[in-house]
Structures are given as structure tokens and as C-alpha cells.
Amino acid sequence: MDAFTKEDVIAGLDEVWKSTIEATEGLDEARWSRETQCPGWDSRAQLSHLIGIERSLMGEPAPEVEVTEKDHLKNPIGEMNEPWIVVRRSTPGDEVRTEFIEVTARRLEQLRSLDAAAFEEVGWSPIGQVPMREFMVIRIMDSWIHEQDIRVTVGRPGGRNGIGEQVALMRADVALRGVVGRATEKVDGLSVVIKIVGPLGGRRRFEIVEGRAQEIEGADATATVVIEQEPYLRRFAGRISADETLSAPGTQISGDLDLARRVVESLAVMI
């Protein structure tokens, strides 16, 4: 995260938000209303969520509305996000899109007006107390994942292999030690190779040493998992099941098959 400057953050958000605007151009209400891989959310709700986060970060209070449908909410952050979605459920999708265009343009203008010191101020984020710059990198990832939710649902592939996907892969890398630790139950000597196939992919190998998953180079492994870049990130984001990931084109497991399956099961980090 340290490599991201203020300019990088703004460029990344701009890239992903413009791509999201392009992905939603001219959608009819039937496609706006299709449920996405986020339970309880259609494409309109995906944009409403992004609108709500950016309005909150600009200091606007959440709508005062009762949230009656809660089965799809899994944590306090989800409950905090939901009012922004509830108040737009009956709003035509094109109107939500217009609001998204206006809000993101205003947010970018606000970010550009901040000095470098403001980007280093430590404050709240979903991953704990971090510099604002790091939080904004997370915003790039979150925005890109929700863009892909929409694109998958409405059948408009795109927005791939740019900064949003790069950031998502970086965040997945950060989580892999925990993923391997859970899958192996931290048994010393076990090792896992995860090979992500795609333009931004690569090979990661982890070995349990003194009860901790450590990234250690090596040719062999107790279990190997090969996954294409797209299903890898969809699984990381919790959008597809372990079975769907294992049956996706290009997925291969070898070595200790039970351990390999547990790795895929543990890979869903975001919810």
C-alpha cells in the first residue's frame, strides 16, 4: 500500500468509477432489478451502496429509515450500509446512475483538493485504523468488485486487468497467510501452492513453520491449487461457492486433495 500516492489513488478511483458508469449505460429496469451475487442486492443496490459510502465519507448522515429485511446482512458494516440501499429500492435505475455520476465527480473533486498530509492522517477504516491513503486504496478494490458484480449480472464483461483488479489481487495476497493457516490448521511441514492464471496472476507458495504460514519458495507442495484470475477473485470476494470455484474452467487441484479443497473453502475472505 505504501507505493500508492495521492495521485495513484485518485486515478484508480476515477478509472473504476468511469468503468462502472460505462457498464450501466442504457440498462432497462429488468436488468437493473436482476439479483447479483450479493444476496439481497440488485444492480441498483450495488450503485446505491457505492453512493452511500462516498456520501458518508463526505460527511453526510445515513438516511433515517427502518431496515426490515435483514437476512442477507452478515455484520455491523452491512447493517450500516443498508439504509442507503433501502431508500433507493424504488428509484429508477437510471436515476441512481445519474446520482452515482454526480456523487463520484464531487468526491474526486474533494480528494483532489486535499493536501498530501491529509492522505497520511490515520483514521477508521474497515480494516482498522490506517492512513486515509490506505483506506482509499481499499475503496478502489471495493468499487471494482461491485462493478464486476454488476457486469456479471447484466452480461457486460469488461473493466478487467486495470488498477482495480491489481488492488484486489494485492489484498488477496495479504489474506493468503490466513487462508493457508486455516486450511492446514497450522500443522508444521504442510505446504500449499496457489497458482493464479491470468495477466496479473502468479505463483504463491506457503509453508507452515512453527505454527505460522510463511511464504517460502520451493518446487513441491503438499497441495496445489490452480485457479483462473476471475474465479479466484470472485471466490476471494465471497461471490461464488467453493464448489463453483472448483468446477470453474481452468481450476485444477493436485497433491493432498482434501487440503486443496480446504484452501478453496477458506479463500472467501470478504463477505
User: What CATH number has the domain bearing residue 245?
Assistant: 3.30.1050.10
Residue 68 has pLDDT above 80, yes or no: no
At residue 63, the pLDDT reads 80
Q: Specify whether 22 is located in the same domain as 81.
A: yes
| Residues in Cβ contact with 120 at an 8 Å cutoff, skipping those fewer than 6 apart | 131, 132, 133
Q: Specify whether 13 is located in the same domain as 146.
A: yes
pLDDT band at 3 (very low <50, low <70, confident <90, very high): confident
Residue 25 has pLDDT above 80, yes or no: yes
Q: Specify whether 200 is located in the same domain as 75.
A: no
Which of 159, 191, 225 lies at the terminal end of a domain, its last residue? 159
Long-range pairs for 138-142: beta carbons < 8 A, 24 or more residues apart: 138/167, 138/171, 139/13, 139/53, 140/9, 140/12, 140/13, 140/16, 140/164, 140/167, 141/167, 141/168, 141/171, 142/50, 142/53
Region 195-205: mean pLDDT is: 97
Which of 131, 159, 187 lies at the terminal end of a domain, its last residue? 159
Residue 74 has pLDDT above 90, yes or no: no
pLDDT digits (tens, 9 = 90+) for 119-149: 999 998 888 899 999 999 999 999 999 999 9
Determine, yes or no, domain membership for 166.
no
Q: Which residue has the higher pLDDT, 127 or 103?
A: 103
CA distance 55 to 76: 18
- Main-chain phi, psi angles of 120, to 5 degrees: -100, 0
Residue 75 has pLDDT above 80, yes or no: no
Q: Specify whether 147 is located in the same domain as 219.
A: no
At residue 64, the pLDDT reads 75
Q: Specify whether 150 is located in the same domain as 180.
A: no
Q: Are strands 223-228 and 130-131 parallel, antiparallel or unpaired?
A: unpaired
At residue 86, the pLDDT reads 87
Cα 170–Cα 176–Cα 180 angle in degrees, nearest 5: 170
pLDDT band at 40 (very low <50, low <70, confident <90, very high): confident
At residue 71, the pLDDT reads 58
Chain-wide mean pLDDT for the chain?
93
Q: Specify whether 144 is located in the same domain as 175.
A: no
Q: Which residue has the higher pLDDT, 76 or 20?
A: 20
122 near 73, Cβ under 8 Å? Answer: no
Domain region containing 32: 6-159
pLDDT band at 78 (very low <50, low <70, confident <90, very high): low
| Residues in Cβ contact with 148 at an 8 Å cutoff, skipping those fewer than 6 apart | 159, 233, 234
Task: Report pTM.
Answer: 0.93
Region 187-203: mean pLDDT is: 97
Q: Specify whether 185 is located in the same domain as 136.
A: no
Number of Cβ within 10 Å of residue 35's Cβ equals 12
Q: Distance between the two ends of the chain, CA-based, in angstroms?
A: 22
Q: Specify whether 124 is located in the same domain as 188.
A: no
264 near 235, Cβ under 8 Å? Answer: yes
At residue 207, the pLDDT reads 98
Which of 159, 194, 229 lies at the terminal end of a domain, its last residue? 159
